């Protein structure tokens, strides 16, 4: 369903125009932000805490109200046409929140069914993801019985159950040990390459962004400071590594 719901020849997985957001406490999180994430790209969104990354992701996925500006997911308005837009998005949020009344497999099956998969298809997809993310042995365990790394992997699996065309990963490797982090990198790279999935990644690990992302945007104060390939950003801000360019761009 989700793969068939796309409008033809849309070149942007995520297109954001003049997006602003002020929270009830007066915090201005986004300031007329515009961003274009090309379809099929592995895109990094880098910025310090409080720069607006999670707000932007929340608005694109339905977790944060979006009263000003426009967000389009493969051409579908994320507010006016939210059903078709959400079918195309898979989100692994920064905070790990998993339904404690369900087993690990149940979390995946239910999520798949919320997105329209049949019971059988959701079950098969859940089993596949549990194997891929090395959670098969914990299929029957409740999320609160899993280790931090396992919960993080389950969250990523949940984002992938309905085979979204745009996967949004908000700091997916935060708190994950080095071996698992590299394992997740390999899986995400393979997902992007083999399934042509667009990936929008936020991370504080700049080597992670440098290793995985084809394009990167720097965000600060709710606005995009710069956008381009790793080499472009290094050339523009100077430095041998992305980290140098990032540090200089952020001032």
Residue 13, SS3 per DSSP:
strand
Q: CB of residue 159 vs another protein: minimum separation in angstroms?
A: 9
Q: Give yes or no for residue 209 binding another protein (CB under 8 A).
A: no
Stretch that binds another protein, among 63-71, 128-136, 177-185, 212-220 (CB under 8 A): 63-71
The label of the residue with tokens 């079950």 reads 123
Q: Which is nearer to another protein, 107 or 213 (CB)?
A: 107
Q: Give yes or no for residue 5 binding another protein (CB under 8 A).
A: yes
Q: Where are the alpha helices (DSSP H) in 41-146?
A: 53-61, 82-87, 104-114, 119-132
Q: Which is nearer to another protein, 49 or 83 (CB)?
A: 83
Q: Which tokens sit at 91?
A: 């989100």
To 10 degrees, the CA torsion angle through 150, 153, 159, 164? -150
To 10 degrees, the CA torsion angle through 37, 40, 46, 52? 40
- Residue choice 4, 9, 26, 178 for contact with another protein (CB under 8 A): 4
Q: Give yes or no for residue 169 binding another protein (CB under 8 A).
A: no
- Residue choice 28, 32, 65, 190 for contact with another protein (CB under 8 A): 65
- Residue choice 18, 28, 32, 100 for contact with another protein (CB under 8 A): 100
CA dist 170 and 191 (Å) reads 16
Q: Which tokens sit at 29?
A: 């999180």
How big is the site for another protein, counted in residues (CB under 8 A)?
36
DSSP string covering 181-198: HHHHHHHHHHHHHHH--E
Task: Kindly write out the interface string for residues 188-207 of this chain, putting x where it contacts another protein by CB under 8 A and - elsewhere.
Answer: --------------------
Strand partners, 75: none
CA dist 25 and 250 (Å) reads 26
> Hey, which residues between 116 and 145 contact another protein (CB under 8 A)?
116-118
Interface residue list for another protein (CB under 8 A):
1, 4-5, 23-24, 58, 61-65, 82-84, 86-87, 89, 91, 93, 95, 97-102, 107, 110-111, 113-118, 158
């Amino acid at each position: 369903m989700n793969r068939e719901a796309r409008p033809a020849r849309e070149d942007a997985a995520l297109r954001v125009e003049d997006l602003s957001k002020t929270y009830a406490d007066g915090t201005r999180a986004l300031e007329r932000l515009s961003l274009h994430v090309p379809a099929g790209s592995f895109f990094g969104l880098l910025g310090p805490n409080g720069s607006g990354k999670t707000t932007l992701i929340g608005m694109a996925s339905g977790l944060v109200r979006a009263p000003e500006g426009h967000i389009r997911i493969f051409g579908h308005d994320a507010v006016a046409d939210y059903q078709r837009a959400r079918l195309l998005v898979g989100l692994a949020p920064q905070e790990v929140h998993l339904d404690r009344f369900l087993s690990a497999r149940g979390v995946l099956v239910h999520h798949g069914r919320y997105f329209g998969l049949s019971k059988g298809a959701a079950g098969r997809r859940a089993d596949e993801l549990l194997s891929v993310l090395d959670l098969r042995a914990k299929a029957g365990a409740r999320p609160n019985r899993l280790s931090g790394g396992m919960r993080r992997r389950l969250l990523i699996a949940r984002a992938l159950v309905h085979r979204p065309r745009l996967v949004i990963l908000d700091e997916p490797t935060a708190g994950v040990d080095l071996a698992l982090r590299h394992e997740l990198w390999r899986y995400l790279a393979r997902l992007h390459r083999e399934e042509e999935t667009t990936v929008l990644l936020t991370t504080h690990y700049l080597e992670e962004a440098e290793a995985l992302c084809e394009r990167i945007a720097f965000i600060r104060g709710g606005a995009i400071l710069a956008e381009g390939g790793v080499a472009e950003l290094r050339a523009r801000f100077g430095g041998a590594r992305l980290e140098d360019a990032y540090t200089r761009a952020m001032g």
